[in-house]
Each structure stands twice: as C-alpha cells, then as structure tokens.
Amino acid sequence: MSFRLSTLISWVCIAIAALGVYLVKYAVQGVQRDVAALEAELSKERESVHLLNAEWAYLNRPERLRALSDKHLALMPMDSRAIQSVDVLPAAYDAAAHDAAPSGEARLITVGTAQ
C-alpha cells in the first residue's frame, strides 16, 4: 500500500480534530453541570430571600410593634401643652462670632433676646 504524505497529514488532522471535539464535549458537559448546580443554589437563595421577606413583613406588623412598644418602652402620648415657642430655647452657638473672635472664645447668642 502506498500512502501519500498528504493522506497521512489529513488523517493526523482528522485525529487531532476528533480529539479536540472529544475534549470540548466533556469540558462543555462539566460547565453545564456547574451551571445546573449554580442555578439550583440560586433557586434556594431566592426561596430564602422570599421567606425572609415574608418573615420581615410578619415581624413588622403595626399591631405587633405597638404591643411590643407598650410592653418594653415607657412612652406616653405627647401633650400638646408641652410644645413651646422658640424663645424658651437655651443659648445657641454663633459660629461666625467664633471665627471672628481673636482669642478663639466662642460667643453665645440667645434666641429672641437683644444683646
């Protein structure tokens, strides 16, 4: 039998291509397994997020929070007579006067009174 060099090269190229296809096929199957595992994990995580959102909504019900605040906090409704005018506030810090003061002393101003 007489083989020509071009025939031999063709068979070698076909063998290399077949080996390449074989390796790519199994590499793709490995990637598909990884994708399937990640999709399953993602599905579990989505289910967990859904469950946590439902739990958050359950725990933040206004009637539950009101009962907890009544039980654990000593809060009273605000009396409208407790609201005062701005004139009763203590002295306020004057930043502009502080920057202008030579010794770095802060000057206090009183809201609503003349100095």
3 and 55 share a domain?
yes
Report pLDDT digits (tens) over 34-88. Answer: 999 999 999 999 999 999 999 999 999 999 999 999 899 988 878 888 787 777 7
51 and 88 share a domain?
no
45 and 87 share a domain?
no
Q: What are phi and psi of 28, to 5 degrees?
A: -65, -40
67 and 87 share a domain?
no
Report pLDDT digits (tens) over 10-32. Answer: 999 999 999 999 999 999 999 99
108 and 92 share a domain?
yes
Q: Which residues contact 110 (CB under 8 A, 6 or more apart)?
A: 90, 91, 92
Question: How many structural domains compose the chain?
Answer: 2
96 and 60 share a domain?
no
Q: Which two tokens stand for residue 52?
A: 């946590």
33 and 62 share a domain?
yes
Q: What are phi and psi of 40, to 5 degrees?
A: -65, -40
Exposed, middle or buried: residue 13 (CB in 10 Å: 0-12, 13-18, 19+)? exposed
Residue 68 · residue 59 · CB < 8 Å? no
Enclosing domain of residue 36: 1-75
Q: What does pTM read for this prediction? A: 0.48
